[in-house]
């Protein structure tokens, strides 16, 4: 079955691709208000396959399966640009997202929201499952209007940074911006939560009933609210004139903050899918410190917070932060703040 391509359904008007055969850039347009594409890659060998299911309201679905050489041709396609916003959700595996000729690694649980001006293409590096959510400008305007006229104060009082990002980018002709979503380290349910959102969105699109339009808009709002909740996700706003290393440094910082600097190199490697040596190089580039010492700055910051905001004994603070050598802790704290932990507590409580 090498090199075979299988199709069913119809491509009618789900996506209109201009300059599809270009080796430089192509352009995607969408006539529907919202569109979902679920993609699955089984691997990179000639025996592996790549499945695509595209859905949109009042349009025929489109399904295709690429095997062997057809898949490899797909995986080497040029970057493209959209007339709409696109939220990429990594449900399984990892991909490389090429944004304006810079490569960014996206492991399972991460997401990326791209505005209309960014040229990009996803590159598969192994087994992976992705959900692409295409959101037209009219759909976003409709959500923004709903946000302003909702029935409940709990809705109108919410300031959602995702909707704000899209509101700021509607009509923006030159800005190449996107949002990066990294799950909080302690959010162990992020993958099951994302799968649940994906299943409900696809089920609503495939089997519409009376009121499904409202259900669909509600699910998108719930997804935005979930991704914008500080206990679940970190959001980084990225402008594409910045270095790709800066995003990785930001992700490292978020995870160090989540764990009070006590995240091991092995756990960072697992969470971010980069080698410890490479992350050490990135941290050194921006801070002049090694990865371990950079983590300790977060540990000392947390220690200072516990000293001022709690009545915990210093020994209990040491234990909470996983510090087993009191002499070492005192030396690190004095180096950071110029005084011992006890002196710091006294001075902060009696300024």
How much of the chain exceeds pLDDT 90, in percent? 66
- pLDDT attached to residue 70: 63
Residue 270 structural domain: 253-349
- Average pLDDT (82-86) is 92
What is the CATH classification number for the domain harbouring 288?
A: 1.10.10.60
Confidence grade of residue 18 (pLDDT, cut at 50, 70, 90): low
Beta pairing class for 16-18 and 79-82: unpaired
**Whether residue 160 sits in one domain with residue 20:** yes
Q: Are 92 and 39 in contact (CB under 8 A)?
A: no
- pLDDT attached to residue 149: 86
Q: How far is CA 63 from CA 3, 95, 157, in A?
A: 17, 21, 41
**Whether residue 270 sits in one domain with residue 229:** no
- How long a stretch of residues is the chain? 351
- pLDDT attached to residue 153: 86
**Whether residue 291 sits in one domain with residue 321:** yes
By C-alpha distance, which of 319, 302, 314 is closest to 346?
314
**Whether residue 203 sits in one domain with residue 137:** yes
| Domain end call among 208, 242, 276 | 242
Count CB neighbours of 95 within 10 A.
24
DSSP symbols for 307-337: HHH----HHHHHHHTT---HHHHHHHHHHHH
Among 21-25, 130-134, 235-239, 251-255, which is the least confidently predicted range? Answer: 21-25
Residue 247 maps to a domain: no
What total of structural domains would you count in the chain?
2
Residue 151 maps to a domain: yes
Residue 9 confidence (pLDDT) above 50: no
Longest dimension (CA), the chain: 77
Residue 248 maps to a domain: no
Structure tokens belonging to residue 240: 């594409």
Query: Which tops the pLDDT comparison, 150 or 129?
Result: 129
Query: Which tops the pLDDT comparison, 3 or 35?
Result: 35
- HSE on the CB side for 79, CA within 13 Å? 15
Query: Which tops the pLDDT comparison, 246 or 23?
Result: 246
Confidence grade of residue 173 (pLDDT, cut at 50, 70, 90): confident
- HSE on the CB side for 106, CA within 13 Å? 30
Adjacent-strand bridge partners of 81 = 27
Residue 160, helix vs strand vs coil: coil
Structure tokens belonging to residue 2: 């090498």
- Average pLDDT (23-37) is 81
Q: Are 204 and 216 in contact (CB under 8 A)?
A: yes
Q: Are 187 and 231 in contact (CB under 8 A)?
A: yes
b/e map of 273-282 (b: 16 or more CB within 10 Å)? ebeeeebbeb
Q: Are 21 and 78 in contact (CB under 8 A)?
A: no
Mean pLDDT, the chain, whole residue set: 88
- pLDDT attached to residue 196: 98
Confidence grade of residue 156 (pLDDT, cut at 50, 70, 90): confident
Question: E strand or H helix at 184, and its extent?
Answer: none
- Average pLDDT (267-277) is 94
């Amino acid at each position: 079955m090498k090199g075979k391509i299988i199709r069913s359904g119809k491509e009618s008007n789900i996506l209109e691709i201009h300059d599809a055969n270009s080796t430089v850039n192509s352009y995607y347009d969408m006539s529907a208000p919202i569109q979902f594409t679920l993609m699955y890659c089984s691997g990179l060998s000639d025996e592996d396959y790549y499945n695509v299911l595209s859905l949109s309201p009042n349009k025929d679905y489109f399904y295709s399966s690429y095997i062997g050489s057809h898949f490899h041709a797909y995986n080497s396609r040029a970057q493209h640009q959209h007339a709409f916003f696109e939220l990429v959700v990594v449900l399984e595996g990892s991909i490389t997202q090429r944004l304006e000729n810079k490569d960014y690694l996206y492991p399972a649980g991460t997401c990326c929201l791209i505005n209309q001006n960014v040229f990009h293409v996803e590159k598969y590096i192994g087994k992976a499952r992705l959900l692409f959510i295409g959101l037209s400008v009219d759909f976003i305007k409709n959500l923004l209007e709903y946000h302003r006229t909702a029935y409940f104060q709990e809705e109108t009082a919410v300031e959602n940074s995702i909707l704000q990002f899209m509101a700021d980018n509607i009509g923006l002709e030159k800005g190449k911006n996107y949002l990066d979503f990294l799950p909080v380290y302690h959010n162990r349910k992020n993958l099951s939560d994302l799968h649940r959102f994906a299943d409900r969105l696809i089920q609503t699109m495939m089997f519409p009933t009376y009121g499904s339009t409202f259900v669909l808009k509600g699910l998108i709002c719930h997804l935005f609210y979930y991704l914008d909740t500080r206990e679940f996700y970190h959001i980084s706003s990225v402008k594409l004139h910045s270095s790709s290393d800066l995003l990785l440094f930001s992700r490292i910082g978020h995870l160090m903050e989540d764990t009070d600097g006590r995240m091991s190199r092995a756990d960072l490697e697992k969470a971010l899918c980069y080698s410890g040596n490479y992350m050490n190089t990135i941290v050194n580039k921006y801070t002049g410190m090694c990865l371990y010492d950079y983590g300790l700055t977060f540990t000392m910051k947390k220690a200072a917070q516990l000293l001022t905001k709690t009545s915990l004994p210093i020994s209990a603070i040491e234990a909470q932060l996983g510090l087993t050598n009191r002499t070492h802790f005192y030396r690190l704290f004095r180096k950071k703040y110029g005084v011992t932990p006890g002196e710091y507590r006294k001075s902060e409580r009696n300024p």
